């Protein structure tokens, strides 16, 4: 995709792009949904406003390791850092470390490589974990991001909507982005279904999507911004406990929602 198509009223009515051979392609659509990540071309093309901005400046780096047993999820909290283990599949685990971007950048500048910088941050944040990794094998490159933003974009407009990181991004220190994306995809799908089925006028349905999204993310967004400031360890731990309670509360609220099209599935 290279751009959006608009009609005479400036409503988005499709996309422009090219195929794998480079030939131009135009596709029409009743709505275009931007699920294209933080640097969303859809969001930039429609000029989606950023309605809320929190503190930016966190860094997250991670890599996958195998070769040693992983007993479960692990967290390590230290001054100005947060590291941990997420076991995944085939005996692997995602090893990650979060820190202020200024700290991570300083380590990277003096290290010989990204791998060395990652090791130094882990050694500072979680010495026991860094020692165990000496017996493990890294199975991926070290990846990550500096200066992660915390921002909330306008969620919809004439003929378009945003979902996932395109519409809402927050520092990975709270590690909840995938859950956000699944939640918002369901809320948006339900809103578009109402509009397509004539149950609600388009603007009304999509405004409800934005309102529900914003209400659902509000508390965890605020906690994320506080955690991304890396307060002293006792306060950081207290905020983590508040985060856990907020996640449980949101999960219960989502579980109580009706399943989209449940009635139709039951009669199919």
16 to 10, 22, 42, 111: CA distances (angstroms): 15, 12, 11, 43
From 112, 147, 182, give the residue that closes a domain: 147
Beta bridge partners of 96: 62, 84
pLDDT at 92: 96
Pair 196, 170 in one domain: yes
pLDDT at 48: 97
Pair 76, 96 in one domain: yes
Q: What range defines the domain where residue 170 resides? A: 3-49+154-264
Q: Which long-range contacts (CB under 8 A, 24 or more apart) does 17-25 make?
A: none
Asked whether the beta carbons of 144 and 94 are under 8 A apart, the reply is no
Pair 161, 61 in one domain: no
pLDDT at 114: 93
Q: Domain of 21: which CATH number?
A: 3.50.50.60
What's the total number of domains in the chain?
2
Asked whether the beta carbons of 4 and 12 are under 8 A apart, the reply is yes
Pair 117, 210 in one domain: no
Cα 188 to its chain centre, rounded Å, is 16
Pair 218, 96 in one domain: no
Distance CA 75, CA 128 (A): 11
From 122, 147, 172, give the residue that closes a domain: 147
Per-residue tokens: 197: 């089925």
Query: Which residues of the chain fall short of a pLDDT of 70?
Result: 260-268
Pair 43, 176 in one domain: yes
Pair 178, 210 in one domain: yes
Pair 17, 64 in one domain: no
User: pLDDT (tens digit, 9 = 90+) per residue, 188-222?
Assistant: 999 999 999 999 999 999 999 999 999 999 999 99
Side-chain-side CA neighbours of residue 30 (13 Å) = 5
Pair 59, 45 in one domain: no
pLDDT at 115: 94
Distance CA 54, CA 251 (A): 24
Q: Domain of 90: which CATH number?
A: 3.30.9.100
pLDDT at 55: 82
From 147, 176, 192, give the residue that closes a domain: 147
Pair 43, 85 in one domain: no
Asked whether the beta carbons of 136 and 67 are under 8 A apart, the reply is yes
Pair 139, 195 in one domain: no
- Give exposure, 51-86, as e/b (b: 16+ Cβ within 10 Å): eeebebbbbbbbbbbeeeebeeebebebebbbbbbb
- The torsion region of residue 56 among left (phi > 0), alpha (psi -120 to 50) and beta comes to beta
Asked whether the beta carbons of 115 and 142 are under 8 A apart, the reply is yes
pLDDT at 267: 63
Pair 190, 233 in one domain: yes
């Amino acid at each position: 995709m290279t751009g959006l198509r608009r009609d005479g009223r400036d409503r988005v009515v499709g996309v422009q792009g090219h195929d794998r051979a480079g030939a131009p392609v135009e596709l029409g659509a009743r709505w275009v949904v931007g699920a294209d990540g933080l640097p969303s071309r859809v969001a930039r093309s429609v000029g989606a406003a950023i309605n809320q901005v929190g503190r930016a400046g966190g860094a997250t780096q991670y890599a996958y390791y195998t070769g040693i047993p992983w007993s479960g999820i692990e967290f390590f909290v230290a001054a100005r850092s947060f590291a941990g283990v997420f076991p995944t599949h085939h005996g692997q685990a995602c090893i990650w470390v979060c820190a202020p971007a200024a700290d991570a950048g300083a380590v990277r500048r003096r290290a010989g490589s990204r791998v060395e910088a990652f090791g130094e941050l882990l050694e500072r944040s979680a010495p026991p974990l860094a020692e165990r990794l000496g017996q493990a094998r890294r199975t991926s490159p070290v990846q990550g991001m500096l200066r992660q933003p915390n921002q909330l974009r306008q969620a919809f407009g004439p003929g378009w909507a945003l979902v996932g990181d395109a519409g809402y991004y927050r520092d990975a220190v709270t590690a909840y982005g995938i859950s956000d994306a699944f939640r918002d995809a369901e809320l948006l799908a339900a809103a578009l279904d109402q509009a397509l089925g004539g149950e609600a006028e388009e603007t009304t349905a999509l405004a409800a999507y934005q309102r529900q999204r914003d209400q659902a993310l509000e508390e965890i967004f605020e906690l994320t911004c506080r955690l991304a400031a890396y307060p002293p360890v006792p306060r950081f731990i207290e905020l983590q406990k508040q985060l856990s309670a907020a996640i449980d509360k949101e999960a219960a609220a989502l579980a109580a929602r009706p399943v989209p099209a449940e009635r139709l599935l039951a009669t199919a």
